């Protein structure tokens, strides 16, 4: 199964909010024909209406892929409308958080090829990372196709089993919020040391974004990059002595935060 199958059989996008829009924009930019895409969305944006895709019309009989991008709480209403496409040649790909593969198999049929994916919000600027796992019905070609589709908005990694999805949710799915909070708190700390709010925020935002870009581009590990900035007895060392404290430092705090997110993900998946 390839992108040619999508061009000939069609792709259905169920839900086109921020994540769905980011993916659709990526596909269209990479040359996918708007006429091979069907979107079902009750509140289509002006941008979506201008893309030229089939919008809220009858679906093809056997689309190559149905990509489910509705909010998890809307899943109960949305899935039964697609049940006729289950147990067939159509691959289902879900980017809905917290909805296990078993829930899709129950709604669509046990013979349905289903891939569960966890993207994150930097997909909106093509810098996301998505983890994927397929059920026993998915083929290697279908996993490759899902990777190609999701690769339109960033990196893709494959999991060995679905149980890992809770940890992925806690690290990369929810993780952007932790980084945004780091920017907020770094700026606030700058204000406390005498900087104007706008200046503190400009410095904090650029520092976190720049450090992230450097961490991704550099050959060295993040640990080595940290060492590179840290002169013995200097200003960075003074800050790290606080942040790297074993009992109440950043590592202990973040471990608790990630565990809380993973535990909540496990609860929601039951």
| Cβ proximity of 36 and 7 under 8 Å | yes
Q: How many CA atoms lie within 13 A of 70 on its CB side?
A: 21
pLDDT in tens, 11-31: 999 999 999 999 999 999 999
**CA separation (Å) from 37 to 3, 63, 196, 206, 257?**
12, 9, 48, 37, 39
* Tens-binned pLDDT, residue by residue, of the chain (270 aa): 778 889 999 999 999 999 999 999 999 999 999 999 999 999 999 999 999 999 999 999 999 999 999 987 788 788 888 899 999 999 999 998 888 999 999 999 999 999 999 999 999 999 999 999 999 999 999 999 999 999 999 999 999 999 999 999 999 999 999 999 999 999 999 999 999 999 999 999 999 999 999 999 999 999 999 999 999 999 999 999 999 999 999 999 999 999 999 999 888 877
Contacts 24+ apart (CB under 8 A), 206-209: 208/179, 208/182, 208/183
pLDDT tens for 198-222 read 999 999 999 999 999 999 999 999 9
pLDDT value of residue 74: 80
Taken in order of first residue, the domains within the chain and their CATH numbers are 3-165 (3.40.50.720), 175-268 (1.10.3730.10)
- Per-residue pLDDT at 15: 93
* Percent of the residues in the chain that have a pLDDT greater than 90, as a whole number: 88
Q: What is the pTM of this model?
A: 0.91
Task: List beta partners, residue 155.
Answer: 129
Beta-bridge partner residues of 65: 11, 91
């Amino acid at each position: 199964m390839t992108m040619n199958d999508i061009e000939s059989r069609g792709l259905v996008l169920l839900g086109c909010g921020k994540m769905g829009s980011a993916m659709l924009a990526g596909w269209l930019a990479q040359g996918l024909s708007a006429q091979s895409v069907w979107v079902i969305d009750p509140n289509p944006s002006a941008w979506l209406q201008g893309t030229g895709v089939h919008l809220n019309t009858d679906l093809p009989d056997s689309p190559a892929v149905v990509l489910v991008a509705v909010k998890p709480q809307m899943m109960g209403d949305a899935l039964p409308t697609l049940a006729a496409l289950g147990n067939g040649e159509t691959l289902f790909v879900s980017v809905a958080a917290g909805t296990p593969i078993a829930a899709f198999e129950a709604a669509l049929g046990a013979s349905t090829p289903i891939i569960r994916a966890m993207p994150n919000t930097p997909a909106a600027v093509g810098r996301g990372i998505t983890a994927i796992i397929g059920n026993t019905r998915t083929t290697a070609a279908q996993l490759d196709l899902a990777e190609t589709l999701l690769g339109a908005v960033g990196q893709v990694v494959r999991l060995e089993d679905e149980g890992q999805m809770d940890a992925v949710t806690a690290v990369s799915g929810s993780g952007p919020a932790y980084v945004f909070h780091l920017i907020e708190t770094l700026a606030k700390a700058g204000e406390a040391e005498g900087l104007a709010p706008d200046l503190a925020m400009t410095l904090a935002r650029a520092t976190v974004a720049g450090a992230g870009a450097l961490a991704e581009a550099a050959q060295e590990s993040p640990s080595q990059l940290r060492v590179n900035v840290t002169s013995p007895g200097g200003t960075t060392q003074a800050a790290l002595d606080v942040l790297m404290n074993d009992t109440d430092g950043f590592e202990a705090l973040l471990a608790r935060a990630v565990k809380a997110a993973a535990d909540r993900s496990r609860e929601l998946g039951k």
